[in-house]
Amino acid sequence: MNYDQRLQHVSVLGAAGKMGSGILLLTAVEMADLSLKPENKGKTFVLNAIDLSNEALSGLFGYLHTQVTKMAEKKAVMLRQLYADRDDLIENYDIINQYVNDVLALVRPTTALEVAYKSSLIFEAVSENKDLKVKLFRQIDQHNENKSWYFTNTSSVPIHILEDEAGLKSRILGFHFYNPPAVQRLVELIVTDTTDNEVKQFALNYAKALRKVVVPSNDFAGFIGNGHFMRDALYGIKQAEELAGERPFVEAVYMVNKVSQEFLVRPMGIFQLIDYVGIDVVQFIMNVMNPFLKDEELHSSLLDKMMKLGVKGGQLSSGAQKDGFLKYDRGAVIGVYDPDKQAYVDVDSFAAQCDEVLGALPASYQPWKAAVRIKDTDGHFAPYFAEMKGMDSLGAKLAINYGKNSNDIGRKLVSDQVAHNENDVNTVMLTGFFHAYGPINNYFA
């Protein structure tokens, strides 16, 4: 079975979810492009969009239509060539519409798992629940005559566990997209000891066709991305809890968020990032990862507490941020949650005072937006953090410690053999988390 044949009959499990819908979109477009190649004329391409939720599936075509249209508009030059022999399609408008129709025509939304029995490739993006994933894999594989390949999007379950428990020896790998898959360029690729090389090669080709940046990760719970993020989040929470010994909790959260964003020049502060991913998701991933880790406790009672109070963060389906640790107004932080009062406290009421305590940013500070564009990363950040180290303010101290810790997490991912090398860790954080500099560096020594 060659690349095109492998992609002739595909199923996406959890296709109506956040990740599944994006994977569905990218796969549908790739399949449509294959189906339009002259040598594939007359062949049928099928992409099953399988999900439990009929309600969610009913919104899927609207989403696909909008997204495929945008993608088609961007590649109209190429599409005109693709449809050069269609005399009835003349204007860009005609051609783009036809392409959107052709992509959507491949997609079959359904709640019936049985349709996957005929697929030769299965993308899995159902809820992060090992037993659920295993159950679905087993059921499909028992009835599937194609010795189908399985690409799971799990964020935290080691792939070999899924492989063993579902009996998928050599035919499964982790193809870990970042959220949202259509936008984020990073994919972590995780093979097990037995994954067939042919499966891996296909995955690399598929990633290339999707123009993704692939970083291989070893098969350890959390892989590289969450391996860093979860520990980084716990460190931020710890810093805040320590600060909260001397000052109100809301101020501590505000300060650590500010340090991790501005002083460390990241796109978001750590509490905003936790809210963005969802407090529930972070807690959940820690719970899934934790049993696989030795000598380390990946757990936060603060997250448990927030969950009990029903404060979860995450995003609305419109993409708007829901309130979590922080309260947002059109993207801007306007309040911090006080678990004792069970209410948000206005940032304005304490920000100035906290900023004063933290102290000024180094004179060579460049905000993240400008800093990500700087080509000579070392040339900017080495002197920036050197300047910070020479400062006596609380903000500078917290930031240096924070940076050191992030650096340690990165190096440990390499020494624990989660990542193959330091460069891979940095690529994940630069590409998947949009950091302006890699966590593994010499700025904080």
Partner 1 sequence: MKNMRRKVYMTAGYNTISMGTGRKEFNPKKERPGLEYYIKEAGQGVLKQAGGADKVDESVIGNFMSARFNKQAHLGGFAGAIDPQLEFKPSLGVEGACGSGGLSLITGIRSILAETADTVLSIGVEVQNTVKAIYGADILAGAGYYDKRKHGHAYFFPGQFSDRAGVYYEKYGHEYARKGMCRWFVNAIENARLDPTAQEYHNTIPDLEGLYHKMTPNGKAFVDHLNVLDCSKVSDGASGIVVTSEEGLQRMDIDKKDAVEVVGWAQLTRNIVNEPPNPVELTTIKTAAKRAMEMAGVTIDQIGTVETHDCFSIAGILAVEALGLAAPGKGAEYVAEGNTSRNGKMPMNTTGGLIGWGHPTGATGVHQAVTLWQQLTGKAGDAQINIPADRPYGLSINMGGDDVTVVAIVYKRG
Contacts of 16 (CB under 8 A, 6+ apart): 49, 51, 53, 56, 57, 59, 60, 109
**The pair of three-digit structure tokens given for residue 298, joined into one six-digit string:** 């990946």
d(CA 293, CA 415): 14
Least distance to ligand NAD, CB of residue 432, Å: 9
**The pair of three-digit structure tokens given for residue 398, joined into one six-digit string:** 């917290």
Write the binding mask 88 to 107 for partner 1: x where contact by CB under 8 A, - elsewhere.
--xxxx--x-----------
Instruction: Return the biggest CA–CA distance within the chain.
Output: 75
Stretch near ligand NAD under the rule CB under 6 A, chosen from 121-129, 142-150, 209-217, 260-268: 121-129
d(CA 174, CA 188): 7
Pick 76 or 332: Cβ nearer partner 1: 76
Least distance to ligand NAD, CB of residue 65, Å: 19
Pick 154 or 405: Cβ nearer ligand NAD: 154
> Which of 18, 80, 118, 299 contacts partner 1 by CB under 8 A?
80
Residue 76 interacts, among ligand NAD, partner 1, none and using kind-specific CB cut-offs from 5 to 8 Å, with: partner 1
Least distance to ligand NAD, CB of residue 412, Å: 22
> Which of 153, 218, 257, 406 contacts ligand NAD by CB under 6 A?
153
Pick 87 or 348: Cβ nearer partner 1: 87
> Which of 8, 9, 14, 271 contacts ligand NAD by CB under 6 A?
14
411, 445 Cβ separation under 8 angstroms? no
Interface with partner 1, residue 76, by CB under 8 A: yes
Give the DSSP letter of residue 338: E
> Which of 51, 163, 219, 262 contacts ligand NAD by CB under 6 A?
51
Interface with partner 1, residue 79, by CB under 8 A: yes
Interface with ligand NAD, residue 54, by CB under 6 A: no
Q: 367-393 in b/e burial notation, b at 16+ Cβ within 10 A?
A: ebeebbeeeebeebbeebbeebbebeb
54, 17 Cβ separation under 8 angstroms? no
What angle, rounded to 10 degrees, do the helices at 394-415 and 225-243 form?
150
Interface with partner 1, residue 87, by CB under 8 A: yes
Q: Scanning the structure block, which residue is given the tokens 């697929």?
A: 119
Stretch near ligand NAD under the rule CB under 6 A, chosen from 47-55, 142-150, 262-270, 421-429: 47-55
> Which of 9, 11, 17, 187 contacts ligand NAD by CB under 6 A?
17
Stretch near ligand NAD under the rule CB under 6 A, chosen from 3-11, 177-185, 292-300, 338-346: 177-185
d(CA 402, CA 268): 14
Stretch 56-85 residues interacting with ligand NAD (CB under 6 A) = 56
> Which of 128, 232, 275, 424 contacts ligand NAD by CB under 6 A?
128
Q: Scanning the structure block, which residue is given the tokens 């603060």?
A: 302
d(CA 445, CA 100): 53
Interface with partner 1, residue 320, by CB under 8 A: no
Least distance to partner 1, CB of residue 211, Å: 13
Stretch near partner 1 under the rule CB under 8 A, chosen from 86-94, 174-182, 235-243, 253-261: 86-94
d(CA 83, CA 360): 59
d(CA 220, CA 292): 8
Which is nearest to 217 in space by CA: 156, 295, 274? Answer: 156
Beta partners for residue 49, in sequence order? 12, 109
**What residue ranges bind ligand NAD (CB under 6 A)?**
13-14, 16-20, 50-53, 56, 125-128, 132, 136, 153-155, 176-179, 277
